[in-house]
Amino acid sequence: MSGAQLFAPVWMSGRRRSQFYRPFPPSRHQNVFSIRLSFDVPLGHVTAFFLFDVSNAIDLQRLRSEIEASVSTRLATKPATPTYLQYQQPPLTLDGAVIGAGEVNGCRVRFKAFDYGVISVALTHALPDTWDQLMTVGPQWQDNPRLAEHAERLCRDLVTRISAAVSARHEPALSEDYVVFTILADTEGSADQLIAAHGMEIARLLRGERETLSLQERDEVLRQRISYYPTDAVIPTWSSALVYDTESGIPGVLEILEFVNSQLLEFRYYDQLLDAELARTYAALQVDTWRPTWLSRRYSRAARHIHSLFIDVNELTDRAENALKVAGDVYAARVFGLAAARIGLDQWKANVRDKLKTVDDIYRFAVEQAAIARGEFLELTVVVLILLEIVLLMH
């Protein structure tokens, strides 16, 4: 596959998963991949996604302007996204070569910026020539501190370059990584045949293990997979995935997997933010003070702070959750749902919802306490006025 083909903006072709498409035998496989006649050579690529939550928001239009102002050519306009893949604000994809970061350790570099403050750095490398070589180097792609350091440096360089487009920068930036092994579909072989021939190797690859796994663990890894045609399959796990498909089918799945991980990163950030704010609020409300409640304004301050936090986080989570809608494409929706379940996205969303409910409860408590304090102050004021009136009458 050429560099231009691999790093063209990724979007799902509608060649097979539209609700109006009838799944006839996939004649699409009778093309340039006819040169591959067996599963002995794992032809494809490995892509390591490193995602960083760098800010509350990124102005994508300004980012484009900042980049175009510093390079000699204009950025290529991304093709229109298919109707079933609906972004509220389409992310901006940049080839690393545009900003002078074409390769790192033999890996092609690609950036993607999401408007909700996430930057994804993708490092892609061709698979080795044999399965034995793949099993030797494959585990090195997972939990690789060297790759993570390179990706973080690339992200920092980009953020520094586009600082005018970044608002409310996060330091340090929370990060998430995910590795995807893509194998180009054989012209004659099915996904079931691939798994029958190399199921143990695939399971070890996705678990990052060099030793042979138990049959139970192998079956557990391979059980959670999804296919549309006999000749394609997606096998996601919590930290990696294997995609078996054609050259035209792979980019769409990669885009979904990358987006799901960006959502996971966002909700991890919101969970961390709410933990910190709740701890600070608890501490502020429990401080002992010599002043009576009606002279202290801590409940009023806490109520204002918590209310502001509740509104801000709700706005951010709504924007993140509604960033992409999959409409009219059952397969894409199923891939999204399976990937989200495997990485635990729904659990992180539930954690954030529970903590937002706690924030709301604290807000109500603080408002009630502030109202009680105001009532006590008014009662004391009335008593003082009555006493003052009595004193004046006596004189």
E strand segments, the chain? 44-58, 85-87, 92-95, 103-104, 107-113, 118-126, 166-184, 233-236, 240-245, 324-326
Give the type of residue at 206: L
pLDDT tier for residue 260 given thresholds of 50, 70 and 90 = very high
Q: pTM for this one? A: 0.77
What pLDDT score does 353 carry? 85
Range of the domain at 89: 3-256
Asked if residue 11 lies in contact with residue 166, where contact means CB atoms within 8 angstroms, the answer is no
Domain shared by 123 and 11, yes or no: yes
DSSP string covering 110-137: EEEE-TTSEEEEEEEEE--SSHHHHHHH
DSSP string covering 322-348: TSEEE-S-HHHHHHHHHHHHHHTHHHH
Asked if residue 302 lies in contact with residue 281, where contact means CB atoms within 8 angstroms, the answer is yes
Domain shared by 271 and 371, yes or no: yes
Domain shared by 232 and 150, yes or no: yes
* Domain tally, the chain: 2
Domain shared by 207 and 185, yes or no: yes
Boundary (domain end) residue, out of 217, 234, 256: 256
- Reply yes or no on whether the pLDDT at 72 is more than 70: no
What pLDDT score does 112 carry? 93
Least confident interval from 164-168, 285-289, 321-325: 285-289
Boundary (domain end) residue, out of 256, 278, 311: 256
Domain shared by 222 and 286, yes or no: no
- Reply yes or no on whether the pLDDT at 302 is more than 80: no
Residues 320-337 as b/e (b if ≥16 CB within 10 A, e otherwise) read: beebbebebbebbbbbbe
Domain shared by 266 and 228, yes or no: no
The pLDDT tens digits for 87-130 are 778 889 988 887 787 788 889 999 999 999 999 999 999 999 89
The pLDDT tens digits for 28-41 are 333 333 333 346 77
| Strand-pair category, 233-236 with 166-184 | unpaired
Residues linked to residue 226 through DSSP beta bridges, in sequence order: 234
Domain shared by 301 and 365, yes or no: yes
Domain shared by 226 and 147, yes or no: yes
Boundary (domain end) residue, out of 256, 280, 311: 256
Domain shared by 247 and 281, yes or no: no
pLDDT tier for residue 189 given thresholds of 50, 70 and 90 = confident
Helix or strand or coil: residue 20?
Answer: coil
Domain shared by 87 and 104, yes or no: yes
More confident residue, 354 or 186: 354
Residue 106 Rama label (left phi>0; alpha psi -120 to 50; beta): left
Domain shared by 237 and 278, yes or no: no
Domain shared by 273 and 238, yes or no: no
Helix and strand element counts for the chain (H, E): 10, 10
| Strand-pair category, 85-87 with 118-126 | unpaired
Q: What is the mean pLDDT of residues 215-231?
A: 92
- Read off the tokens for 89: 């604000």
